[in-house]
Amino acid sequence: MSSVPSDLLYSAEHEWVAGDAEAGSVVTVGITEHAAVALGDVVYVELPSVGDEVTAGEVCGELESSKAVSELYSPVSGTVTAVNEALSSEPSAINDEPYESGWIFKVEVSDVPELLDAEGYVAHIA
């Protein structure tokens, strides 16, 4: 069973959100361990750019692994304030530490859709 930290919020598209998910605050986004296991080794990440406007539920990047490419959806709407540049040289961080060094981008939130809590996400992937 993959790890689903209880202090995070989750999207149905397997992104996690850390921080206060409310307008005006900055949240950190990554993909869940469940998603990372399903993808296999991520070898390349197409990141959004700082300053990009992202919309909840819309594609904002790509994750390439051996078997497939998967799209990265933003779980919230807002403006990208930071991206994890270390992933360009060490994309394996997404597999090794999906909730820590494998974070992908940060967003200053303008709007938040309904997100799942850990219990809800566990039920979603069951």
Partner 1 sequence: MTRSPLHHEHVALGATLVEFAGWDMPVRYASDVAEHTAVRTAAGLFDISHMGEIEVRGADAAAGLDAAVVSGMARLAIGKAKYTNLCTRGGGVIDDLIVYRRDWDHFVIVANAANVETVTAELVERLAGLDASVKNISEDVSLLAIQGPASEEIVAAMCVHGADDVRALKNYTWCTVLLQGDVHAMVARTGYTGEDGFELFLVPDDAVEIWRLALAVGGPLGLIPCGLSARDTLRLEAGMPLYGHELTLATTPYDAGLGWVVQTGAARELTRPGLDGAVGLSEGRVPRGDFVGREALAAAKAAREAADADPASASEETRVLVGLVGASGRVARAGYDVYVGDRLVGIVSSGAPSPTLGRPVAMAMVHPVASALGTAVEIDVRGRRETMTVTALPLYKRAS
Binding site for partner 1 (CB under 8 A): 37-38, 40-41, 43-46, 62, 64-69, 92, 95
| Shortest Cβ 65–partner 1 spacing (Å) | 8
| Shortest Cβ 99–partner 1 spacing (Å) | 18
Place of tokens 């919309």: 55
- Residue-wise burial string across 30-44, b where 16 or more C-beta atoms lie within 10 A, e elsewhere: bbbbbbbebbeebee
In this complex, which beta carbon is closest to partner 1, that of residue 6 or of residue 66? 66
Compute the distance between CA of residue 32 and CA of residue 120 in angstroms, rounded to an integer: 14
Query: How far is Cα of residue 110 from the mean position of the Cα atoms in its chain?
Result: 17
| Shortest Cβ 90–partner 1 spacing (Å) | 13
In this complex, which beta carbon is closest to partner 1, that of residue 67 or of residue 119? 67
Compute the distance between CA of residue 92 and CA of residue 112 in angstroms, rounded to an integer: 29
In this complex, which beta carbon is closest to partner 1, that of residue 28 or of residue 95? 95
